Amino acid sequence: MSPTANGVALLRAMIRIRRFEERCAELYQEEKIRGFLHLYIGEEAIAVGVMQSLTPEDAIVATYREHGHALARGIDMNRVMAEMYGKATGTSGGRGGSMHLFDAKTRFFGGNAIVGGHLPLAAGLALADRMQGRGVVTACFFGDGAVAEGEFHETLNLAALWQLPVLFCCENNRYAMGTALERAQSETELALKAASYRIPAWPVDGMDVVAVEGAARRATGAIRAGEGPHFIEFRTYRFRAHSMFDPDLYRSKGEVETWRRRDPITLLTDRLRGEGAVDDAALEGIEREVAAEIDAAAAFAESSEWEPVETLARHVTSEAPS
Amino acid sequence: MSIVTLAEPRAAAAAPQGIRTTYRDAVREAVRSAMRSDPRVFLMGEDVGKYGGTYAVSRGLLEEFGPERIRDTPLSESAFVGLGIGAALGGLRPIVEIMTVNFSLLALDQIMNTAATLLHMSGGQFNVPLVIRMATGAGRQLAAQHSHSLEGWYAHIPGIRILAPATLEDARGMLPSALADPDPVLIFEHALLYNLEGELDAGAGAVPIDRAAIRREGHDVTLVTYGGTLGITMTAAGQLAEAGVSAEVIDLRVLRPLDTGAILDSVRKTHRAVVIDEGWRSGSLSAEVSARIMEGAFYDLDAPVARVCSAEVPMPYPRHLEQYALPRAEVIVETVQRMVNPHAA
């Protein structure tokens, strides 16, 4: 793929996530989607950029803000939307909802909603891969909030000690729910924390999808070459509130506006326009296709069946093979 | 899982002729045998390798299997339990040893929020074939932070199986069955049992992990217990027999899912029940067993269900206070005597 064509594909992938989540916010107001809904709007460049560096054999372990990762990984949008609704056709049979998208086929291990709790799981997958001689990478996404958790430090120590093939992707959006980074961290240069465990670590502009992809390719290349875990701090910002329950009182409108000027979609669009890779007609075409896909996904979710209450207790434990 | 071909748990009175061994050696043999027969099995935990295991269960295994499969971990319970979950998802069959139940609280997030939920939360896509072993219980003057008996807490959680081997057969046989289970299994080994000695059939192997066992048959009262208190319960049953009271002893063995049928069948025969539990009484496994008897056999009872539990205090250090806080055979005997002969002075 030419660099320009790839740029357009990255742009399309980010727009697809953005519009999907904007529709989800509307569907939340319509009470089609309930529970917690954490939007990734503003951070799309990270999931899209990192996924470019992964193969189908690699594993992904994400947080409760994972719609973008699921879509970028290639999970069918119909099934993602159905899961948002809680329908039986969803990625997790409707059992998980927005925070718990799972997909065995694409090695997508959630959708995990205990901050920091999924880091050990990612390292364990990597341990299994290493012990069984599979040369694959586990990409683990988490926010700056997780960096304060003990499980972060325990896992980084073990991953470095045992040289496990994990790519730690820290999505630093500067807020752990409502607590600003400088109010929660004695050291706000998060890469330094990883480096203290002897893990190669560096910060990257998380609003620049090309920079994200480049950093992720460099890291996954090193991990595949047996150089152990790597850590990238992606500096980003969430444009929307933490969840639909968040009145967003802890940051100024001016701060949000400043970051919006670095919207990853706008940045890439301007760049591709400058290169002559896209024009208004091309952009309209992308928007039209994406809208059609989202319409179809919402219709699929709307028309899908609910799980019957009779099967509530299924999957608490495994079913005996017949 | 299919365990229909396995031998029934044996009554303690009918110990077979076999090799002389200890509970500790039986657990070690179970680990060794599993690792020899399945390359996916490995052991991970604090001081399981070079040190040989805090309770010497894994002594010699590092030499036989090497550091890739006998993995010493840093003191980070949450991380290495979570790594066990991930490794199980990745196709291995990890045995994670947590030094004691007290430290398992540092891994409770992993056990409860991840291991127990993943299969259901993922709509049946991701089962977690993980085995966690840990020492539990009091009795060695280790004071308030090293004497917990929290098996009952863990038995509250759907999605995990809770085992409490109290005999040599179960020490040897529960681990292979747990490894064959596609879902998380926690095995609680009472620290006072490691030195338990006896005869074990040379061919002993996997045992069922879905039912209770009757360790002594009787017809006047049912004594329900598990794990570390099986010994004093058997002692009490012997003393009661001398006093003319025939006690049936049920070893629960599996704390989740509870074998309610075995308990109710016995109570319908004896019409009386005492639950002996090293956990604290409030909100305990003994409360659950008592409630199930009330729900399922209320009209068969000749007396209210009684309980002998640990005193509701953090465990004290001095031996006399610790012993007084724990369930004792004499209290079981007194409780039963009051129950069968309520009008005695």
pLDDT in the model for residue B69? 98
- Give the C-alpha distances (Å, rounded to integers) separating A21 from A37, A40, A294, A297, B1: 9, 8, 10, 12, 42
DSSP string, B133-190: EEEE---SS--TTS----HHHHTTSTT-EEE---SHHHHHHHHHHHHHSSS-EEEEEE
Q: What is the mean pLDDT of residues B67-85?
A: 98
Give the pLDDT band (50/70/90) at residue A5: confident
Decide if pLDDT at A312 tops 80: yes
Each residue's pLDDT tens digit, A19-30 = 999 999 999 999
What domains does chain A contain, in order, with CATH numbers?
Answer: 3-179+193-248+266-299 (3.40.50.970)
CATH number for the region B213-340 comes to 3.40.50.920
The verdict on A151 touching B (C-beta cutoff 8 Å) is yes
Q: What share of chain B is helix, strand, coil (3-state, %, to 5)?
A: 40, 20, 40
B126–A92 C-beta distance less than 8 A: no
A122–B85 C-beta distance less than 8 A: no
What are B194's two structure tokens? 């490691």
Share of chain A above pLDDT 90, in %: 97
Decide if pLDDT at B30 tops 70: yes
B113 neighbourhood in chain A, CB within 8 Å: 114, 117
Decide if pLDDT at B209 tops 50: yes
DSSP summary character for residue B39? T
Taking the CA of residue B7 and the nearest CA in chain A, the distance in Å comes to 20
Residue A55 CB-half CA count within 13 A: 9
Decide if pLDDT at B17 tops 80: no
Task: Show me where the domains of chain B are located.
Answer: 12-200, 213-340
Each residue's pLDDT tens digit, A189-219 = 999 999 999 999 999 999 999 999 999 999 9
Share of chain B above pLDDT 90, in %: 93
Decide if pLDDT at A259 tops 70: yes
B197 is catalytic: no
Give the pLDDT band (50/70/90) at residue B345: low
Is the CA virtual torsion A74, A321, B131, B258 positive or negative?
positive
Decide if pLDDT at B138 tops 70: yes
- Inter-residue contact A169 to A141 (CB < 8 Å): yes
To the question of domain B12-200 being in CATH 3.40.50.1980, the answer is no
Active-site residue, selected from the candidate residues B29, B97, B146, B288: B146
A124–B89 C-beta distance less than 8 A: yes
**A&B contacts, CB < 8 Å:** 149
Q: What is the mean pLDDT of residues B98-124?
A: 98
Decide if pLDDT at B5 tops 50: no
Q: What integer best gives the mean pLDDT of chain A?
A: 96
pLDDT in the model for residue B342? 81
Decide if pLDDT at B253 tops 50: yes
B159–A317 C-beta distance less than 8 A: yes
B119–A120 C-beta distance less than 8 A: no
Amino acid of residue A217: R
pLDDT in the model for residue A1? 45
Query: What ipTM score was computed for the predicted complex, to two decimals?
Result: 0.95
Decide if pLDDT at A322 tops 60: no
Strand extents, DSSP E, chain B: 19-22, 41-45, 70-72, 93-100, 131-136, 161-163, 185-190, 197-200, 213-216, 221-225, 247-251, 254-256, 273-280, 306-310
Diameter of chain A measured on Cα atoms = 61
pLDDT in the model for residue B2? 36
B77 is catalytic: yes
B32: left (phi over 0), alpha (psi -120 to 50) or beta: alpha
Chain B residues with a Cβ under 8 Å from any Cβ in chain A: 1-2, 42, 68, 73-74, 76, 78-92, 109-110, 113-114, 118-127, 158-159, 161, 182-183
Is the CA virtual torsion A94, A96, A101, A105 positive or negative?
negative
Give the pLDDT band (50/70/90) at residue B1: very low
Each residue's pLDDT tens digit, B275-298 = 999 999 999 999 999 999 999 999
Decide if pLDDT at B202 tops 50: yes
Each residue's pLDDT tens digit, A37-55 = 999 999 999 999 999 999 9
